[in-house]
Amino acid sequence: MRDFELNLTPEQESKRQYEYMEKAKELVFAKEKELGRKLTFSVVTFGCQMNARDSEKLVGILTEMGYVEVEDEHADFVVYNTCTVRENADNKVWGRLGYLQNYKKKNPHMIIGLCGCMMQETGVIEKLKKSYKYVNLIFGTHNIYKFAELVYRCLSTDKQVIDVWKENDKIVEDLPIKRKFKFKSGVNIMFGCNNFCSYCIVPYVRGREKSREPKDIIREIEGLVADGVCEVMLLGQNVNSYGKNLENPMTFANLLREINKIEGLKRIRFMTSHPKDLSDDLILAMKECDKVCGHMHLPLQSGSSRILKIMNRHYDKEKYLDIVRKLRETIPDIAITTDIIVGFPGETEEDFQETLNVVKEVEYDSAFTFIYSKRTGTPAATMDNQVPPDVVKERFNRLLKEVQEISAKKAKSLEGKVVPVLVESLNDHDDSLVTGRLENNLVVHFKGTKDMIGNIYNVKLEESKGFYFLGGLA
Ligand code: 5AD
Ligand code: SF4
């Protein structure tokens, strides 16, 4: 029986999961005694920042159970947190699973777990049941909060444990999380997506949009700040529609205003913004709130209004450019980045030229460019006018060249400027240098010491090297 069928409240559910952590801890301890060493684990993340945050939850729970994290996959417990947004993400996982099987043959007690978006895809579970019997644990995106219970079940049986749900409207708070970075953290503000862009599998694998309560988000951020975090990245598939389904609706702009008041917090980032829901009030809130970074990630997907319509994006080229104009008018130095898909079914050379035109007009600070990938179950997959791969590749290369030239030019234009930089680490190659991040997400290396990590400094950008800068304290 599933938990939500038991009708537990999120608070009761959270308590129940802590009980499973305790029970699993005893089994882990017994195994440690038997082997005469600690048990190890590795969580491997594919895909987006949402998955990265989910992985921190898995790491938190395994750590709580007494497992010790290791870097490589030669561990007692390996979890692949999968992505399925493009087909090559799936292929990577199947490939790595084959490799893990060989390792498991030599270490039969090893546990292999799979979770994330790929598990929600039709056909995947059947394939795993049939041909990947050595995978011990399979669960999806909707019941990740049950991880402790599922691990416990896995430790107490030899059978494959499979628990994948189609949907869930419950958000369970307050489970352990182990952050990858000391001073910065992702924070989910919502889950799922209601937009059904015609190429995208996300709404099918992540379910309908659900927002977290503002008080829960704020409490989490306050806790993070108390624990040394100075930068948060607010995460949602479409943050601009945050709060619409709450009992007491709240806009994303107002959520930003509330978060901006949190004492000790220094930087606020967010992603992703859907142009169709981006309000003028959000632009104002970004300007008003001193902690919100001057950066907007605003996926374009295509510059052709005709293609945007078939993509079901609910904006056209003009509306998109209008938002960019407003953003720049209100926040002159704002960095704008984007996602673009090349080769959507039926894309003509003229459509592609429209995309290039927008790229040239907006002059993105950086852009993620993707080759269209056919995802079974999405409307675009059934369109019979798929663009030939060689045509797509050729367009993709032209786009990439344009995007890179513009990014380099934009970075170059910052040379000589003094900007606020959050120091993230000592430099990997030279420990007389520190590495910090600008509001636009680019990196700068400059003379500094370890104690500067987690603080913001004014840094002069002396030389642009394309994707990073060399600089000095101003
Ligand atoms: N093919 C290629 N790119 C895709 N994206 C989403 N679905 C697909 C697909 N089927 C891209 C979009 C989105 C980003 C996260 O991934 O550009 O913004
Ligand atoms: Fe996919 Fe569109 Fe939702 Fe983004 S907004 S996750 S592209 S369906």
Write the pLDDT tens digit of every residue in 273-286: 999 999 999 999 99
**423 and 404, same structural domain?**
no
What 3-state class would DSSP assign to 414? coil
**221 and 139, same structural domain?**
no
| Dihedral over Cα of 27, 33, 37, 38: its sign | positive
| Binding pocket residue ranges, ligand 2, CB within 6 Å | 193, 195-197, 200, 202-203, 237-238, 274
**224 and 346, same structural domain?**
yes
Cα-to-centroid distance, 236 and ligand 2 (Å): 10
**315 and 430, same structural domain?**
no
pLDDT digits (tens, 9 = 90+) for 288-328: 999 999 999 999 999 999 999 999 999 999 999 999 999 99
**271 and 295, same structural domain?**
yes
Q: Tell me, what's the pLDDT at 467?
A: 83
Total structural domains within the chain: 3
What share of the chain in percent tops pLDDT 70? 99
271 close to 337: Cβ distance less than 8 angstroms: no
**343 and 213, same structural domain?**
yes
- Per-residue pLDDT band for 379 (boundaries 50, 70, 90) equals very high
Which of 129, 163, 197 is a domain's end point? 163
**451 and 376, same structural domain?**
no
CA distance 294 to 287: 8
**Residue 340 is part of a domain; what is its CATH number?**
3.80.30.20
pLDDT at 1 over 50: no
pTM of the full predicted structure? 0.94
- Binding site membership for [4Fe-4S] cluster: which residues? 48, 83, 117, 193, 197, 200
Ligand 1 atom closest to residue 301's alpha carbon, by position in its atom list: 17
Ligand 2, atom 2: closest residue by C-alpha: 197
Mean pLDDT of the chain: 95
Question: Residue 52's domain spans which residues?
Answer: 3-163
Which residue in 219, 209, 268, 215 sits closest to 242, CA to CA? Answer: 209
**38 and 73, same structural domain?**
yes
| Phi, psi for residue 340 in degrees, rounded to 5 | -135, 135
Residues 6+ apart with CB under 8 A from 330: 283, 284, 286, 287
Q: Does residue 171 lie in a domain region?
A: no
Q: Tell me, what's the pLDDT at 4?
A: 53
**231 and 329, same structural domain?**
yes
70 phi-psi bin (left φ>0, alpha ψ -120 to 50, beta other)? beta
Beta-strand relationship, 231-235 and 184-188: parallel
**359 and 228, same structural domain?**
yes
pLDDT at 2 over 90: no
Which residue in 2, 349, 342, 461 sits closest to 469, CA to CA? Answer: 461
**399 and 262, same structural domain?**
yes
